[in-house]
Amino acid sequence: MTWNWQQRNWPQFVYNAEDFREQEQQFFEKAGMIHGSFQHIEAGDQEDLRIDLFSQEAVKTSEIEGEILNRDSIHSSIRKQLGLQTDHRRIKPAEQGIAEMMVDLYRNYEVPLTREILFSWHEMLMNGRRDLLDIGRYRRHEDPMQIVSGHIGKPKIHFEAPPSKQVMEEMKSFLAWFNHSIKGGKNELPVLIRAAIAHLYFESIHPFEDGNGRLGRAISEKSLSQSLGRPTLIALSHTIQEHKKSYYEALESNNKDLDIGDWISYFCQIVLNAQDYTQSTISFIIEKGKFYKRFEKQLNERQLKVVGRIFREGFGGFKGGMSAKNYQTISGAPSATATRDLTKMVEIGALRRVGELKSTRYFLNIQG
């Protein structure tokens, strides 16, 4: 098997930039809408939204790699990193590390990418690990760096990266390419194309013993932010996690030669979908504010507790709606009280009722 880095013209990737002109335009249009919508949110809610998006991305980028972290712990750690009030909970090293990286990515997106930054991010990601030889530096082991699946006795090799002895030079070339392809750089590239290539290029080198996927996605987000001149705040890892199988298939389909038009097309759509998710989240926050202004004074303590719990589920709410039993569990109200509360909330327009009898479900009466 011959891999992309073994091709004679590596790393001169082949694609037609004109094929992605429409996606590039859509990206900037959506980015403008997100930025404009964000300005309609009150300052406190803006901060909460940023932290929620950081927390979600930290959880999802780890989940893509099969690592399940506690979102509340990450949320608390991010607040601490930003100098905000926290609940002082005990944070595990992995959760603290990914939180530190997300905040650094947000604060320093405009800084040129360097080996030192990557080493620092890697140390953050590997916080608490004792099973790795190389933390905060490029891999040095002599064994092939392979991505495999299947049984130990008969593994399927999806990709083999350059030998460790080549990594230093490969990464020098990658960092030079990344910093020169920025907007205004001597080799400027269109925003989505640059972010797409950055991810595939980095993953093809696979310079670290572990954490390459998370670092590669962070580099793509840094690339997008640099092109916009502000943090993107898009749900890139959330969107990839929703379609993880196709993500890995797209990477594998583009690691054997230098024609990467299919990868760029795939990545463009992932970014546009991630923007749509962020826009929906912002619209939801705006509708949340409108809801409380309209109904807060009309709701009792039990009802407000339940409403707050539904809002924490995000714009999707409870899957399939909230049942009367859900209401009792959250509020602690007996059946008769729960029925009165729910009936009143429907009457004033705070909830929509769907179905009958045991199939009755309730939804917040908001747009989106």
H or E element at residue 363: strand 361-364
Among the residue ranges 23-37, 64-78, 83-97, 336-350, the one predicted with the least confidence is 83-97
- Model confidence at 368: pLDDT above 70: no
Question: CA 271, CA 195: separation in Å to the nearest integer?
Answer: 9
pLDDT in tens, 25-45: 999 999 999 999 988 888 878
Question: CA 46, CA 354: separation in Å to the nearest integer?
Answer: 33
pLDDT in tens, 263-308: 999 999 999 999 999 999 888 888 888 899 999 999 999 999 999 9
Angle between helices 212-228 and 191-205 (to 10 degrees): 160
Contact, 339 vs 324, CB < 8 A?
Answer: yes
pTM across the whole model: 0.89
What tokens were used for 109?
């997106």
Q: Residue 312's pLDDT is what?
A: 83
pLDDT in tens, 193-233: 999 999 999 999 999 999 999 999 999 999 999 999 999 98
What tokens were used for 337?
């009280």
pLDDT in tens, 152-187: 777 889 999 999 999 999 999 999 999 999 999 999
Question: CA 145, CA 173: separation in Å to the nearest integer?
Answer: 19
Q: What percent of the chain has pLDDT over 70?
A: 99
Domain ranges of the chain: 4-284, 300-364
What tokens were used for 165?
């002895």
Q: Residue 224's pLDDT is what?
A: 97
Q: Tell me the CATH class for 300-364.
A: mainly alpha
Compute how many other C-beta atoms are within 10 angstroms of the C-beta atom of residue 323: 17
Summarize the confidence of residues 331-345 as an average pLDDT.
96
Summarize the confidence of residues 331-337 as an average pLDDT.
96
**Is 4-284 a domain of CATH 3.40.1350.10?**
no
Among the residue ranges 18-22, 108-112, 276-280, the one predicted with the least confidence is 276-280
Compute how many other C-beta atoms are within 10 angstroms of the C-beta atom of residue 197: 23
